[in-house]
Amino acid sequence: MADKVENPDVEKVPRVSTLQDSSEDVHPHKDWWAWEIFGIVGSALCIIGLCLFVRQYDGQPLPSWAYKQAPGTILIGTPPSNRPSVSLNSIIGLFSTAGKVMLLIPITRGLGQLKWVWFSEEHRQLSDFEVFDSATRGASGSLFLLWTLKGR
Q: Which of 2-6, 90-94, 104-108, 147-151 has the lowest mean pLDDT?
A: 2-6
Is residue 25 assigned to a domain?
no
Cα–Cα distance, 32 to 21 (Å, whole number): 15
Is residue 17 assigned to a domain?
no
Is residue 23 assigned to a domain?
no
Model's pTM, two decimal places? 0.62
Is residue 127 assigned to a domain?
yes
Q: How many structural domains are present in the chain?
A: 1
Summarised one tens digit per residue, pLDDT across range 40-62 is 999 999 999 999 999 999 998 88
Is residue 5 assigned to a domain?
no
pLDDT for residue 14: 53
Continuous segment of H or E residues that includes residue 66: strand 65-66
Is residue 93 assigned to a domain?
yes
- The domain of 141 spans 33-66+84-149
Summarize the confidence of residues 122-143 as an average pLDDT. Answer: 85
